[in-house]
Structure 1
Amino acid sequence: MSIMWLIIFFLLPLLGCGFVAWHVWVMLPFANIYKGVILAAMALSFLCMFFNFIVGLDRLPTWLARVFYEVGYSSIFILLYLVMAFLLVDLLRWVGWYPIDWFYSSAKGSLLIFLAIVGIFSYANLHYYNKVRISMELKSDKAMKQPLKIVMLSDLHLGYHNTRADLAKWVELVNAEHADAVLIGGDIVDFSVQPLLKADMASEFRKLNAPVYACLGNHDYYAGEPNTEKFYKEAGIKLLRDSSVLLHDDVMVIGRDDRTNKRRKSIARLMDGVDKSKYLLLMDHQPYHLEEAERNGVDFQFSGHTHYGQVWPISWIEDWMYENAYGPLTKGKTRYYVSSGIGIWGGKFRIGTRSEYVVLTIR
């Protein structure tokens, strides 16, 4: 697995940088010194991502950390689309459909690529801020005194890019539902709790007008699980780590620890002692081995983690990686929903995917 991530996050981006750099050098209609300045700026933007990993952002002033974060992690998505753009240009050039004089030292060709990238990512940024309300209604064959309304979120990734101002808007959306409970399926924190503490985001969570329950995600572990757990407590969030809670005497919510913890309980062990006459709702951040929930009598499983790739065509790769990378699924009597998340890590871009929150009614 470590070799795969090394290839995905280091080798392929470096090859992409070389591919894009050559095309930019050939296409720009400027003197070599100006081409060098532009390529140097592009390289520094990309290297910000490695700086963020190696040095860390908590040592920097918040405003500067935010700049490094946005520039560094946005560059990887822009690099992907530059690679695709130049591959398309090469293909069209080889079949004779792209003017050759737009390829070498061309103002027209350079302007075409620039406007295309600016247009795509301007749309992607605006699309990210459009939070889609997903309505779900599930009918239970188990006795319930009354319908239960639950708002479900995942992958908030609060930190240097998703700020308290963003969180405040999400809290307003949730409160407008007047739900009986709020469930958060992992990754409240992005990479560090420090920006959450500095901005006092805990007080924003306390404005939610319903009890909040959450399970851990992999990013919550990246931020340091003890730090995350302490923040949850301050924010008034009940953390379910391989534990459960009964809602309104009818729905048992079971929060599974993230698979980052190799010693977490199996679903079979989690079900020991659970009253199966209740409606069983499982939160498991990463949607692996979905058959385990079906095998152990879970009525509904909520997961996140995938973001559905954030931008196309990564969503296609995730469709290949996961049994269900996004949306609803039914296996036997068990229903599932894998959310693309209300937040995001890295650049605030959505292309071919959406930011969402789920309003679930169980009857």
Structure 2
Amino acid sequence: MWAVGIGIILLYNLLIFYIGYNIWVWLKQISGDRKSIKIMFWVILVIFAYSFVFSRWLDESIFFTGLGAAWLSLFYFLILFLPAANIGVFLRRFTKIQKETFIKWTGYTLLVLIVGSFLFGMFNAYSPKAKTYQITIPKQVEGKPSLKIIMASDMHFGDLSGSGQAKKLVEYINSQKPDLVLFPGDIIDDDITPFLEKGIPEILKQIEAPVYASLGNHDRDDVDLVPIFNNSGMRVLDDEVLNLPEGIVLVGRKDRGYQDVVRAELQALMKEVDVAKPVILLEHQPYDLDIAEKNGVDLILSGHTHRGQVAPGNLITNMIFENDWGYLKKGELQSIVSSGYGVWGLPLRIGTRSEIVQIDVTFKP
């Protein structure tokens, strides 16, 4: 384990050097190869590159948290684009273009490309789209032929997603007049403090429909979050079964990401369930669909994957999860996984989009 950690640190520092070397090669074409500027550049780069570490040391400093998010975004784009720039500089030798001129304009082009990509990524992250699914559950609910559900996962309310995003979510939910609102985990981003300081509980209380939630791997802090969330306009199902007045059964599970918490087996939870009724399971991470199907779950709602959040992360999530995003039918089980409403780490999305999910359910035995 130590060897893996040391290997990751070494690789990260090599990548920082690779990035720094390339940026300096470009900068010295503009500023000249002055020692004072070179030292200043490397000091700033190191602070920038370790800002997310400083944020942890300095009690979740908002300044370093923001700086860390900006660095991770820049790091992502540079690792993505710099190899192409290096190839371009190498191929330049087969042309008559002066090396210094080519490096200078390659740097400017890269700068424009990164800024444009960053703005595009922020738009994808903070302008969620609506995604609608129409499904049928082959069971009868007395006096309830259909059900309109709004689902939002992975809000990650905190330093990168604040009251503005919460208000936007609430306004959209209320405009759709759903029967039910479901949050399958990652309501906060590892720290309850900004959630409370930004007044998000009071905003969420304005939702005009019943709200039920399960916890995700980022819903953690030194305090018990369940009563806090329960006082924020929602009802948390933490390894719990709830029979709704509409004749529907909701099951919410503890997240599998907590290594120090033992969660109930789904089979044990389902012993309390009348499977003649429609059964909806809130399971933050979309694993073990076969187990849910065998235990009589009709609809499982998940998040967690962010659909990779930034390309090519979507290729990785697609390999890990049977259903990493969208709709999948497995036997009698129907699975819907959201790409999420918020972001984690980087304040952007490339190759995916933040979303709010609407599920129109028809009951037809």
1:338 maps to 337
Give the Cα separation in 2 of the matches to 1:294 and 1:283: 14
Q: 2:57 aligns with which of 48, 54, 59?
A: 54
Aligned partners of 2:343 and 2:153: how far apart in 1?
10
How far apart are the structure 2 equivalents of 1:352 and 1:154? 18
Q: CA deviation at 1:95?
A: 4.8
Mapping for residues 11-26 of structure 1, pairs under 5 Å: 11-26=10-25
Q: How far is the alpha carbon of 1:141 from its aligned partner?
A: 1.2
Unaligned runs of 5+ in 1: none
Equivalent in 249, 254, 258 of residue 255 of structure 2: 258
Within the alignment, does 1:41 sit opposite 2:44 as a pair? yes
TM-score normalised per structure 2: 0.90
> Is the aligned partner of 1:174 residue 2:177?
no
Q: Per-residue displacement from partner, 1:106-136 (whole Å, max 9, x unpaired)?
A: 3212211111111110111122222111111
Number of equivalenced pairs: 353
Output one character per residue of 1:51-98: Cα deviation in whole Å (capped at 9) or x when no partner.
1233321xx5xxxx1x32222023123212202211112234445599
Residue type at the aligned position of 2:240: S
Residues 131 and 122 of structure 1: CA distance in aligned 2, closer, same or farther (over 3 Å): same
The aligned amino acid for 1:88 is A
Counterpart-to-counterpart distance in 2, 1:280 and 1:324: 19
Q: Which residue of 2 aligns with 1:78?
A: 74
Matches within 5 A, 1:208-247: 208-221=207-220, 223-224=221-222, 226=224, 228-247=225-244
Q: Which runs of 5+ in 2 are unaligned?
A: none
Q: CA deviation at 1:287?
A: 1.4
1:176 aligned counterpart, secondary structure:
helix
- Computed over aligned residues only, the root mean square deviation of the Cα atoms, in angstroms, reads 2.3
Question: Which amino acid is 2:150 matched to?
Answer: V
For residue 255 of structure 2, give the secondary structure of its aligned residue in structure 1.
coil
Q: Aligned partners of 1:290 and 1:75: how far apart in 2?
A: 37
Aligned to 2:111: 114
Deviations 1:141-186 (A, max 9, x none): 1002321111111001111121112211111011111111110010
Deviations 1:238-274 (A, max 9, x none): 1101112223433211101100344101111111120
**Where does 1:1-363 land on structure 2 (aligned, <5 Å)?**
10-28=9-27, 29=29, 30=31, 31-32=33-34, 33-57=36-60, 60=61, 65=62, 67-95=63-91, 101=98, 106-144=103-141, 145-146=143-144, 147-221=146-220, 223-224=221-222, 226=224, 228-261=225-258, 262-363=261-362
Q: Are the counterparts in 2 of residues 103 and 109 from structure 1 also a CA contact under 8 Å?
A: no
| Identity fraction in percent | 31
**Residue type matched to 1:193 in 2?**
I
Structure 1 residues 2 and 176, CA gap change in structure 2 (3 angstroms): farther
CA distance in 2, matches of 1:263, 1:90: 50
Q: Aligned partner of 1:22: which letter?
A: Y
Q: Which amino acid aligns with 1:38?
A: F
Deviates more, 1:31-40 or 1:69-78: 31-40
Letter in 1 for 2:321: Y
Partner secondary structure for residue 358 of structure 1 = strand
Structure number with greater Rg is 2
